[in-house]
């Protein structure tokens, strides 16, 4: 963040004075942490027309924030905010950053230009899709990735818990306060299994209802980086239902998120980093994390497996065993060329040919 002293320095013109003023600003910025961190990433959307990534920032400062020369960085490159760009106190600001965000997962960073002097340039960041806990924004839809609660309500500090502070908004608020409800991960109904249709077949997703009463899933949604599917019908008590999942492109996106009818995100699963298989499932049914973003963080090899497909029914045999027979353990063969890189660099390479 800059202040108005820099223009005063230019008028006086003395080189030594400029150096001193710049140094003074850097020191001031480094010590005033509450000032440095008060501009936030608040919402993100990829606009298909022109393939423009749009990022909403929020200035939580009581003063105007000069964000000229700040950088928004993602896997496909940097966008430098033009000099003279300012956000009014408690204001929202949309930046068109070009096509720099990778679709199935990425880290978007907001970098303060002056803080780069201090080595603590990162003002804010979000990790989504197969890179972090926040969900991937479905491209080609009018849906945004939004901070919840809005940065004006309670600026979150826990950078590692993206899954708790970000969700998808099916009616975006670009330029205004976010209104998307916070996630409630692991609440009752879960994504229990899915089948990757690929080119030949329909994607399918199985939900499990662990409750003792039927759950109406009308207007619930499944989302991926490729699309949104609205659900209909109900799931019987302690039962399973499977749903067609057209347009979600599971083969490419490697992650699914589940939303209830009020837009609360209640589960997420990913198989990024696992060898290919038609079906993946929880075992025992409904067990394992609801905050993972790749095969490992979803309980891969522990409660989350490549499975024999059992869509619409339990993932376990009548003996209570997991239906993984015939699917080799992905961790048995070290150096299996089918095992993909699960690193951020690996994802970047997939999209920067």
CA 294 to CA 64: how far, in whole Å?
A: 40
Q: Measured from the CB of residue 264, what is the shortest distance to Ca ion in angstroms?
A: 13
Helices 15-31 and 5-12, packing angle to 10 deg: 170
- 185 or 283: whose CB is closer to Ca ion? 283
Q: Measured from the CB of residue 279, what is the shortest distance to Ca ion in angstroms?
A: 8
Q: What is the DSSP letter of 218?
A: T
Q: What count of Cα atoms within 13 Å lies in the side-chain half-sphere of residue 133?
A: 20
- 56 or 163: whose CB is closer to Ca ion? 56
162 three-state secondary structure = helix
- 170 or 344: whose CB is closer to Ca ion? 170
C-alpha closest to that of 348 among 172, 161, 107: 107
- 42 or 297: whose CB is closer to Ca ion? 42
Q: Measured from the CB of residue 175, what is the shortest distance to Ca ion in angstroms?
A: 6
Counting beta carbons within 10 angstroms of the beta carbon of residue 156, is it exposed (0 to 12), middle (13 to 18) or buried (19 or more)?
Answer: middle
- 170 or 296: whose CB is closer to Ca ion? 170
Q: Measured from the CB of residue 150, what is the shortest distance to Ca ion in angstroms?
A: 7
Q: Measured from the CB of residue 185, what is the shortest distance to Ca ion in angstroms?
A: 19
Angstrom distances, CA of residue 239 to CA of 80, 92, 182, 270: 52, 45, 27, 22
Residues engaged in binding Ca ion (CB under 5 A): 43, 56, 169, 171, 173, 178-179, 193, 206, 310, 315
Q: Measured from the CB of residue 42, what is the shortest distance to Ca ion in angstroms?
A: 6
128 three-state secondary structure = strand
- 29 or 42: whose CB is closer to Ca ion? 42
Q: What is the DSSP letter of 26?
A: H
First to last CA, the chain: 35
């Amino acid at each position: 963040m800059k202040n108005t002293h820099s223009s005063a320095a230019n008028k006086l013109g003395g080189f030594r004075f400029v150096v001193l003023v710049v140094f003074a600003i850097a020191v001031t910025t480094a010590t005033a942490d509450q000032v440095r961190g008060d501009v936030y990433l608040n919402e993100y959307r990829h606009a298909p027309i022109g393939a423009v990534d749009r990022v909403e920032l929020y200035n939580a400062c009581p003063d105007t924030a000069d964000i000229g020369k700040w950088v928004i960085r993602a896997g496909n490159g940097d966008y430098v905010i033009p000099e003279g760009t300012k956000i009014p106190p408690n204001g929202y600001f949309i930046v068109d950053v070009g096509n720099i965000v990778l679709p199935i997962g990425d880290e978007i960073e907001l970098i303060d230009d002056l803080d780069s002097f201090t080595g603590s340039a990162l003002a804010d960041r979000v990790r989504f899709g197969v890179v972090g806990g926040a969900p991937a924004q479905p491209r080609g839809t009018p849906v945004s990735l939004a901070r919840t609660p809005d940065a004006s309500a309670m600026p979150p500090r826990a950078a590692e818990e993206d899954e708790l502070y970000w969700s998808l908004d099916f009616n975006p608020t670009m330029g205004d306060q976010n209104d998307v409800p916070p996630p409630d991960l692991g609440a009752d109904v879960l994504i229990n299994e899915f089948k990757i249709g690929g080119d030949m077949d329909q994607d399918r997703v199985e939900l499990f209802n662990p409750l003792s009463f039927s759950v109406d899933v009308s207007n619930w949604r499944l989302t991926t980086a490729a699309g949104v599917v609205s659900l209909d019908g109900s799931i019987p008590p302690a039962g399973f239902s499977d749903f067609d999942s057209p347009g979600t492109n599971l083969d490419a996106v490697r992650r699914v998120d589940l939303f209830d009818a009020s837009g609360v995100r209640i589960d997420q699963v990913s198989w990024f980093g696992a060898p290919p298989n038609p079906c993946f499932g929880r075992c025992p049914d409904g067990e394992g994390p609801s905050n993972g973003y790749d095969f490992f963080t979803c309980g891969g090899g522990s409660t989350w497996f490549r499975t024999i497909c059992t869509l619409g029914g339990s993932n376990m045999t009548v003996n209570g065993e997991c239906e993984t027979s015939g699917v080799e353990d992905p961790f048995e063969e070290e150096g299996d060329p089918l095992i993909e890189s699960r690193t951020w660099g690996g994802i970047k390479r997939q999209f920067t040919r």
